[in-house]
Structure 1
Amino acid sequence: MSPRVRFAPSPTGLLHVGNARTALVNCLYAKKNNGIFILRLDDTDAERGSETYAEGIHQDLKWLGIIHQEYYRQSDHLERYQNVINKLEQVGRLYPCYETPEELDFKRKRLLAQGRPPIYDRSSRNLSSEQMEKYMQENRKPHWRFFLNPGKITWDDLAHGPMEFDAEKLSDPILIREDGSPVYTLSSVVDDLDMKITHVIRGNDHISNTAIQIQLYEAIGGTPADLHFGHLPLIAGEQGESLSKRLGSISLQSLREEGIDPMAINSYLASLGTSNEVKASYYLEALVTDFDLKKFGQASPKFSLDVLWRLNEKLLHNMSFEMARPKLHALNLSHITESFWNAMRGNLKKIKDIGHYWSVCNESITPVIEDRPFILTAKSLLPDTPWDEFTWQKWTDALKEQTGRQGKELFRPLRLALTGEEHGPEMKKLLLAIGPEKTIERLSV
């Protein structure tokens, strides 16, 4: 059976590079193994969920080129989840709990103060009917926990190798909120079974969840051996801080708005935390060859914006005009010509920078004239037309001989007069793009 993998984000915030890495890894795994990549929105949390964030997830993945073959929303499956809940309750695997968040927090802190792990004590399983009636009179609504059977829970992790958990050292997980809505743990396992998911690849923060989900998967009729898990270290920020989509840390939206090319992100994330060399790739398919879950190390890799920007520049400096054309069109820069692109791409940090260079060369600017006599001399020594790639050299050689100037003293006044700026692409390329007419005009101010 071909692998079926899924990316299951919740629409409660902006996707960040950590989320993107999970989506990318699953997509590459599916591509390498001729599998199916599924997008599934975990949108059962009505209080925190948002259609704006849901649409943002679609936009971000489309921008990255991570395309799903199947799409589902968990909010469409609430009836199915309720049927599973009823069956689990009938067989005694679910039990109601009435503790408030404050009471649970007190229990947790007390256990920690005693040097004991904060495992739920299952006190709610022994509530008398009188106690339950009292809670109901207090208008307490129960949340429901899944009873974990004692014993060892094992699996062969795709990234870590053999894993083992003792169920007695885990808290019975909450599967149903006070408002009756299913928690991710339940809906995810039900969907994994119904959608015939074969491989679950995600972050290390889900390792203990996996132990719980294996028992739950079996309890609802699944065969745990049919489901394979892989866990990768979480990406950290440059200072080792954790990433949070609700805080907007290195969000895909912000990177897109800043001018990062999506393949710069994909190229970086595909190699981050592996022994692979960071290479600038223009297509997802090019990343498949070197992709292997076994290559990911165990330490949390740090995401560097400096590395990402350098990779972005490398992509742009070698990008063909045919590849750049649709990107330019999206930025309303369809007027950029192939010759201009090829002349300027080696100086781009962001693709939209070329729009500025076009304006400098083709629209009105305010020349900066620091030394008028020198500029007038420069104007008088301009080479005859037609100009070519050697014109700048001929011109500056003549100026050097006439004035004795060289280096910055020679070149800076010319750049300021012709562009109005101190820095930019090579002047030999800019001079050709500006052309004889505008050059004379700017030297005549």
Structure 2
Amino acid sequence: MSVAVRFAPSPTGMLHVGNIRLALINWLFARSHGGSFLLRLDDTDLERSTAEFAAGIERDLGWLGLDWDRFARQSDRLDRYHLAMEALKRSGRLYPCYETAEELSLKRKSLLGRSLPPIYDRSALKLTDEDRARLEGEGRRPHWRFLLRHDPVEWDDLVRGPQHFHGRDLSDPVLIREDGRILYTLSSIVDDIELGITHVIRGEDHVANTAVQIQLWQALDGPVPTFAHLPLLSDATGAALSKRLGSIGISHLRDEEGVEPMAINSLLAKLGTSDAIEARLTLAELVAEFDMAKVSRGAPKFDPEELKRLNARVLHATPFQSIATRLEAKGYAGVDEVFWNAVRANLSRLDDIAEWWHVAREPIQPVIEDAEFAAAAASLLPAEPWDDTTWSAWTGAVKTATGRKGKALFMPLRQALTGLDHGPELKNLLPLIGRERAGARLAGQVS
């Protein structure tokens, strides 16, 4: 059986790291098994779903490299859900209920007040045809519930291991609202059956839903998929990750924070697994290392600071050939492989390259605290051409001539040449600055 998985976001907002972790794990699982990855937009919430959010979901997945083999929209499949609805009615598994939201709330409060689980009492099953006609005559419109069997529900979860529920402990779910809208529980199962989904990989907050939905799969004569319920991300302190936290949005991380896509992929693929979190430059590497058996049951912690550190490591390891097109698109067409190799170890985000381009190629204000020493150093600048051995030869000559060594030798030279007290190794940066500009800066000139 060929593996088929799906990522099914609702286009009612932008993707965040919690969504992307689920998308990535599904994608890696499919690719590691030679299977297919379906992107399905669950867009039946007409009030909140927008074309803008849908386009944003596709853009974010594409930016991360998570391509899909198949695509579907639930809004294109409404007829399929209505056919399933009618089939469930004919089989007696879908029944009308007439309680208002207020009446249902009172029932739940009453049960909870007696320390009982808030399970629907099935009072609607006792209504006669006359009762239903009277209620509809009063203007009530029914919502429709799925009649669960009081049988054990079991499955072997790829993350949580053996799971067991009993039907009598579950409440009959509402599948159709009073306004006739078919809810996610039904539409999702219809899609999974008809689109051949073999594995459902989602958050552990759906475990109880799975116990209900397995009966629905069976009632619709569909093969029940294999399940994997992942522990949910928490923040760095272990608290629940708030979806309202803008800093965890993929568009924010990309556009505002300058995070590399492979930094996000490298982190989210390994969070909550037995693997160490390390920078990877390609998704192919993550596919080769992926194993669902490595996922633990503990809540993984998402730390933005860890993502920043990983982002720097990704850039430090990125070869020029992999970044050249992006550099040109960002306006850094003059950056060549020599320049990239000289400065990449000092980048936290790609746009940091602008600082070192300015230092190497544009006028700066040098910092000169000892003009006599700077002049002596300038007089010893060797003739060009310069390479990565020039810095060592030059500072050796300056050390001999002035008697300075260590920080007293190197820091004044760095400050004069770059205007800063930190930066790339000067053995690499000095040839980029060049003899003429170096001499002028040592003389205290803006150059």
Normalised TM-score (structure 2): 0.92
- Equivalent residue, structure 2, for 1:278: 277
Matches within 5 A, 1:239-254: 239-248=237-246, 250-254=248-252
- Equivalent residue, structure 1, for 2:300: 301
Amino acid at match of 2:246: G
Q: CA deviation at 1:65?
A: 0.8
Matches within 5 A, 1:23-422: 23-127=23-127, 136=136, 140-224=140-224, 227-248=225-246, 250-257=248-255, 258-422=257-421
Q: Secondary structure at the match of 1:71?
A: strand
Q: CA deviation at 1:433?
A: 1.1
Change (3 A) 1:402 1:106: farther
Change (3 A) 1:399 1:221: same
Amino acid at match of 2:276: E
Q: Secondary structure at the match of 2:350?
A: coil
Q: CA deviation at 1:310?
A: 2.5
Q: Secondary structure at the match of 1:280?
A: coil
**Which 10-residue stretch deviates more, 296-305 or 172-181?**
172-181
Whole-angstrom distance in 2 between the partners of 1:99 and 1:401: 94
**Cα deviation 1:331-378 (Å, max 9, x = unaligned):** 333331011111111222112222321122112223333343333333
Q: Secondary structure at the match of 2:6?
A: strand
Whole-angstrom distance in 2 between the partners of 1:116 and 1:53: 41
Q: CA deviation at 1:326?
A: 3.1
Contact 1:13 1:246 (8 Å CA) reproduced: no
Q: CA deviation at 1:139?
A: 5.2
CA RMSD of the aligned region, Å?
Answer: 2.3
Change (3 A) 1:411 1:185: same
Contact 1:12 1:246 (8 Å CA) reproduced: no
Whole-angstrom distance in 2 between the partners of 1:249 and 1:168: 42
Q: Secondary structure at the match of 1:25?
A: helix
Amino acid at match of 2:39: L
**Cα deviation 1:100-142 (Å, max 9, x = unaligned):** 4444344333322321112222233334667656765675544
**Cα deviation 1:274-327 (Å, max 9, x = unaligned):** 112223222212122222212211111112223322322222222211112233
Whole-angstrom distance in 1 between the partners of 2:206 and 2:165: 13
Whole-angstrom distance in 2 between the partners of 1:193 and 1:213: 12
Q: Secondary structure at the match of 1:48?
A: coil
Gaps of 5+ in 1: none
- Equivalent residue, structure 1, for 2:428: 429
Amino acid at match of 2:340: W
Whole-angstrom distance in 2 between the partners of 1:129 and 1:246: 47
Change (3 A) 1:135 1:328: farther
**Which 10-residue stretch deviates more, 289-298 or 101-110?**
101-110
Whole-angstrom distance in 2 between the partners of 1:379 and 1:348: 29
Amino acid at match of 1:336: V
Amino acid at match of 1:383: P
Contact 1:16 1:244 (8 Å CA) reproduced: no
**Which 10-residue stretch deviates more, 166-175 or 122-131?**
122-131
Q: Secondary structure at the match of 1:375?
A: helix
Change (3 A) 1:177 1:401: farther
Change (3 A) 1:418 1:178: farther
Amino acid at match of 2:214: I
Q: Secondary structure at the match of 1:15?
A: coil
Q: CA deviation at 1:61?
A: 0.9
Amino acid at match of 1:199: H
Q: CA deviation at 1:264?
A: 1.9
Q: Secondary structure at the match of 1:164?
A: strand
- Equivalent residue, structure 1, for 2:20: 20
Whole-angstrom distance in 2 between the partners of 1:56 and 1:145: 34
Change (3 A) 1:237 1:70: same
**Which 10-residue stretch deviates more, 312-321 or 136-145?**
136-145
Q: Secondary structure at the match of 1:289?
A: helix
Amino acid at match of 1:242: A
**Cα deviation 1:69-102 (Å, max 9, x = unaligned):** 0000111111111121122223322233344444
Q: Aligned residue pairs: how many?
A: 443
**Which 10-residue stretch deviates more, 34-43 or 327-336?**
327-336
Change (3 A) 1:370 1:292: same
Whole-angstrom distance in 2 between the partners of 1:177 and 1:420: 68
**Which 10-residue stretch deviates more, 245-254 or 50-59?**
245-254
**Cα deviation 1:243-277 (Å, max 9, x = unaligned):** 34454351222221212221222222222211122
Contact 2:247 2:253 (8 Å CA) reproduced: no
Q: CA deviation at 1:18?
A: 1.9
Amino acid at match of 1:24: L
Q: Secondary structure at the match of 1:264?
A: helix
Q: Secondary structure at the match of 1:268?
A: helix
